[in-house]
Amino acid sequence: MIAKIYSAIPYGYGGRLIEVEGDLSNGLPAFNIVGMANKTISESRERVRSAITNSGFSFPSKKATINLAPAELMKDGSHLDIPIALAILVLSKQLQSKHLINSLFVGELSLDGLAKPVRGIINIVETAKNSGFKKVYLPLENAVQARLIDNIEIIGIRNFRELFLRLIGEYTETQSAAEVSKDPTLYYVKNTETVVKETVTLEDSNQPTLDDIKGQALAKRALIVALAGRHNLLLSGPPGSGKTLLAHTAANLLPPPSASEKLEITKIHALASTAGQSCTERPFRAPHHTASLAAMIGGANQTIGEISLAHRGVLFLDELPEFPRHVLEALRQPLEDKKVTVIRAKQRLTYPADFMLIATMNPCPCGYLGSTQHACKCSTTQIEHYQRKISGPILDRIDLIINVEPVEIDNLATKAPTKPIVKKTETEAKIKPSDTATPDSSESCEHSIVKNTITEVIKIQNQRFHSEKRFNGSLSSHEINQYIRIDSDAKMLLLQAAKKLKLSARSYFKVIKVAQTIADLDHSTGVKTEHISEALAMRNQLH
């Protein structure tokens, strides 16, 4: 007798359907799993055997063979525990195969039969839906993420015994209101619905804002332009000038992701973790400079890299020259293509990597090159070696390069308001400061105005490109000619500057894209001379 149970595993940014085939034959008792299974899946023999017996079922005392098809596909993870256990029940005639029609099963089993969450549940549910399945049975903790996919029934289970009762139609919900009150984050729906645990994401009240940074009007302006148009930004300056603090404000200035972006972000992070909640905020990834190439880009066994975990958000690289050169060079292709393809001996996996890069660095090893307050102690050789760690092709892919000057001590002691760095909208201009900020508010007036301005400029781009995922910073040269209108005087200035500064073709187009974002911030219908001038000024070369 042959039993066939359907499951799926994540494979790159997608998934692959897996047929769990079982056979039971006479011979010495044995339990074998074949079909390119790694050690995690091979170890499921012990988990499945214990889960079956501890759930009140009997394990057959015959030779059981499980095949995972397609056999040439490398399988990794504990996703197939539940379908393997179901195959054993069907083979031993404790469960009829008719109860498994049009259903897909996935999940890990503990020794006592509890269903434990697995990675990549959104990929698995999408694969099930595209393959024509009507139901997916999965661990309860994966149910919240799984329900982000429409038009397929998701059934969360707590343990293997509950799954069996649901399949034969004898399961009833018995939780009482008293049990619900023990954990207010749980809600129960009677009859056929499952228990779902919703997680609430709380904002970090200690997150820095623009008002925590004294002075630095140019750096703030550059950050606003970068966030509004999704341009890459490099801040160079001496230690203690506020570069890192300024970069961390980006997480609090970007608007929340759209519904489709939330799904993409959750899908990526579900591949790296078994956490069951849905992602409602844009990622802000800040890997340490000792991060390896595999940690940054992604590696074997479907390891997700930091550049993919930063998808639809910000990748912050502090102390950029301290990163290994080969790690930085690996960012070339993702910065251009907004995706990364990881190729190993038996795998070719592609992940999205549409992130905005914010990086900081010191101008030299001691940090005080060009400073008027401290003398630089580095030799010319040391400075050249330090700056050569960042290659020209990487710098060419960065839209804005800003030299951050140290803040005067007198500015740190004063509470006087700084000069506005964005124009107020008509609505904001009519609102008094007392209406926008209170002594107890978490965001002060300047920060909230800047955040609203960035959101407004993003909406302008959404209307211009008829998409929520296209921004000025991601336009191709063809799209620049299609969407951006430049005055004749501005074109002349750009051509003169490009020849004098010897800009590459990539840098030439990046200046235009930055200028368009500046024009959007000024509510201008076209790119003018002043917009080109400011964009050129924000492509300063390093000291």
Q: What percent of the chain has pLDDT over 90?
A: 71
* 371 lies in the same domain as 254: yes
CA nearest to 422, candidates 255, 222, 168: 222
pLDDT of residue 376 exceeding 60: yes
What tokens appear for 210 in the block? 């623009």
* 234 lies in the same domain as 378: yes
Boundary (domain end) residue, out of 197, 226, 247: 197
More reliable by pLDDT, 416 or 280: 280
Spell out the alpha helix ranges (H) of 31-146: 39-42, 44-54, 81-91, 121-130, 143-146
What does the alpha-carbon distance between residue 18 and residue 324 come to, in Å, rounded to a whole number?
A: 39
* 123 lies in the same domain as 62: yes
Helices (H) and strands (E) in the chain, counts: 24, 20
Q: Is 477 helix (H, G, I), strand (E, B) or coil?
A: helix
DSSP letter for 278, please.
Answer: P
What does the alpha-carbon distance between residue 377 and residue 229 come to, in Å, rounded to a whole number?
A: 38
CA dihedral 110, 114, 115, 117 (to 10 degrees): -70
CA nearest to 195, candidates 128, 115, 258: 115
CA nearest to 287, candidates 312, 313, 307: 307
DSSP letter for 212, please.
Answer: G
Cβ–Cβ < 8 Å for 529, 490: yes
What average pLDDT does this structure show over 445-471?
Answer: 92
As for how many domains the chain has, the answer is: 2
Boundary (domain end) residue, out of 393, 422, 451: 422
pLDDT of residue 302 exceeding 60: yes
Residue 60 within any structural domain of the chain: yes
* 180 lies in the same domain as 224: no
pLDDT of residue 277 exceeding 90: no
Residue 67 within any structural domain of the chain: yes
* 239 lies in the same domain as 358: yes
Cβ–Cβ < 8 Å for 18, 26: no
Identity of residue 131: S
Q: Is 60 helix (H, G, I), strand (E, B) or coil?
A: coil
Range of the domain at 62: 2-197
Q: Where residue 379 falls among pLDDT bands split at 50, 70, 90? A: very high
Q: Is 125 helix (H, G, I), strand (E, B) or coil?
A: helix
CA nearest to 336, candidates 469, 483, 474, 478: 474
How far, in Å, are 41, 43, 75 from residue 35 at the CA level? 10, 14, 8
Longest dimension (CA), the chain: 88
Q: Where residue 459 falls among pLDDT bands split at 50, 70, 90? A: very high
Contacts of 123 (CB under 8 A, 6+ apart): 8, 10, 11, 13, 14, 15, 267, 270, 271
pLDDT at 415: 58
* 311 lies in the same domain as 185: no
* 413 lies in the same domain as 278: yes
Q: Phi and psi (nearest 5°) for 437?
A: -150, 140
Q: Note the pLDDT tens digit of each residue in 312-326.
A: 999 999 999 999 999
Q: Where residue 286 falls among pLDDT bands split at 50, 70, 90? A: very high
Q: Phi and psi (nearest 5°) for 263?
A: -65, -45
112-116, 348-352, 514-518: lowest mean pLDDT where? Answer: 348-352
Residue 414 within any structural domain of the chain: yes
What tokens appear for 235 in the block? 């801040």
Q: Are strands 303-304 and 347-352 parallel, antiparallel or unpaired?
A: unpaired
pLDDT at 182: 40
Q: Which of 117-126, 238-247, 372-381, 405-414 has the highest mean pLDDT?
A: 117-126
Instruction: Give me the long-range contacts of 58-62 (CB less than 8 A, separation at least 24).
Output: 58/92, 58/94, 59/88, 59/92, 60/24, 60/88, 60/91, 60/92, 61/29, 62/24, 62/25, 62/26, 62/27, 62/29
Cβ–Cβ < 8 Å for 373, 34: no
Identity of residue 170: E
What does the alpha-carbon distance between residue 97 and residue 465 come to, in Å, rounded to a whole number?
A: 51
Chain Cα centroid distance, residue 478: 28
* 219 lies in the same domain as 121: no
Q: What percent of the chain has pLDDT over 70?
A: 86
pLDDT at 348: 87
Q: E strands of 201-264, at which residues?
A: 233-236
Residue 394 within any structural domain of the chain: yes
DSSP letter for 83, please.
Answer: H
Boundary (domain end) residue, out of 422, 452, 474: 422
Q: Note the pLDDT tens digit of each residue in 468-497.
A: 989 999 999 999 999 999 999 999 999 999
Q: Where residue 307 falls among pLDDT bands split at 50, 70, 90? A: very high
Q: At what angle do helices 488-501 and 529-537 cross, to 10 degrees?
A: 20
Residue 31 within any structural domain of the chain: yes
CA nearest to 361, candidates 312, 395, 338, 314: 395
Q: Which residue has the tokens 């049009």?
A: 102
Residue 429 within any structural domain of the chain: no
Residue 537 within any structural domain of the chain: no
pLDDT at 503: 92
What does the alpha-carbon distance between residue 306 and residue 297 come to, in Å, rounded to a whole number?
A: 6
What average pLDDT does this structure show over 197-208?
Answer: 51
Q: Note the pLDDT tens digit of each residue in 163-187.
A: 999 999 998 875 433 333 344 333 3
* 124 lies in the same domain as 227: no
Q: Where residue 195 falls among pLDDT bands split at 50, 70, 90? A: very low
What does the alpha-carbon distance between residue 459 and residue 465 come to, in Å, rounded to a whole number?
A: 10
* 173 lies in the same domain as 138: yes
* 152 lies in the same domain as 223: no
Residue 501 within any structural domain of the chain: no
How far, in Å, are 121, 197, 304, 350, 393 from residue 297 at the CA level? 22, 32, 7, 11, 18
The CATH number that applies at residue 27 is: 3.30.230.10
What tokens appear for 100 in the block? 């498994």
CA nearest to 396, candidates 515, 535, 504: 504
pLDDT at 486: 96
pLDDT at 535: 96
Average pLDDT, the chain: 87
The CATH number that applies at residue 374 is: 3.40.50.300
pLDDT at 397: 95
What does the alpha-carbon distance between residue 256 and residue 261 come to, in Å, rounded to a whole number?
A: 9
pTM: 0.86
* 117 lies in the same domain as 246: no
What average pLDDT does this structure show over 26-48?
Answer: 91
